[in-house]
């Protein structure tokens, strides 16, 4: 199994991708820790993981609050003694309208979650990984972190920032045993060259692989999972 014996963190939203990744990491042999604001959206995922005999821990966490993220990673260190891999699923959006029509409160919220939340997760994950044998981190970017999109200026901007932060963090820790990559899923529509929309499992499989030793020489990369969309 690709993550046999590893301790894996899923930090952020209970999206379909986040939930699929939690299950996929457990199937790959990892003990899974989930850090999110509320447990209810995760109950089915937690039950699925436990039904297969795998270990899963939920810790209530607002990823936009430094003390909360610090406490999450400290809990992992206390319970498991290590953190090996992490998926930062910090991903939210504002209303899809032209830039000048976007409201300030929504813009601030998206930046706080998608960018500041990611930075906080990376900061405390990396601090913990440096105490051990290193690790692998995957961030949730988007194909719109590589291209543009109509009526999505703030989301696009934050996802470009995710791509950039991934590259910078990867270079910062390239010689300290920590790899940092990102996945860039396409939106859920049927205009992909492969003729279907992306499935959560498509993304989860890629995340597990990027976190595994099979990807041991890959860092600073944002992997499109888009059925060929960005190849056009």
Residue numbers annotated as active site: 155
CA atoms of 179 and 126, how far apart (whole Å): 10
Contacts of 94 (CB under 8 A, 6+ apart): 102, 103, 106, 107, 109, 110, 154, 155
| Dihedral angle sign, alpha carbons of residues 69, 215, 17, 155 | positive
* Contact in structure between 36 and 14 (CB atoms under 8 Å): yes
Give Rg (Cα) of the chain. 17
* Contact in structure between 206 and 25 (CB atoms under 8 Å): no
Q: Which two tokens stand for residue 138?
A: 């995957």
Question: In a 3-state reduction of DSSP, which class is residue 204?
Answer: helix
């Amino acid at each position: 199994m690709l993550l046999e014996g590893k301790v894996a963190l899923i930090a952020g939203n209970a999206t379909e991708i986040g939930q699929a990744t939690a299950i996929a990491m457990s199937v790959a042999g990892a003990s899974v820790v989930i850090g999110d604001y509320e447990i209810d959206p995760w109950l089915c995922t937690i039950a699925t993981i436990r039904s297969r005999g795998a270990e899963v821990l939920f810790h209530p966490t607002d990823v936009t609050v430094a003390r909360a993220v610090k406490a999450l990673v400290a809990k992992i260190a206390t319970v498991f003694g290590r953190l090996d891999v992490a998926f930062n699923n910090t991903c939210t959006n504002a209303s899809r309208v032209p830039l000048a029509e976007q409201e300030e409160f929504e813009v601030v919220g998206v930046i706080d979650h998608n960018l500041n939340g990611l930075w906080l997760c990376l900061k405390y994950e990396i601090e913990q990984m440096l105490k051990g044998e290193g690790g692998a981190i995957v961030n949730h970017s988007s194909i719109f972190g590589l291209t543009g999109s109509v009526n999505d200026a703030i989301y696009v901007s934050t996802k470009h920032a995710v791509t950039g932060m991934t590259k910078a963090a990867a270079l910062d820790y390239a010689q300290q045993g920590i790899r940092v990559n990102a996945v860039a899923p396409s939106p859920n529509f049927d205009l992909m060259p492969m003729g279907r929309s992306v499935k959560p499992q498509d993304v989860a499989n890629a995340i597990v692989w990027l976190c595994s030793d099979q990807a041991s020489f890959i860092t600073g990369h944002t992997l499109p999972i888009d059925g060929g969309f960005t190849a056009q």
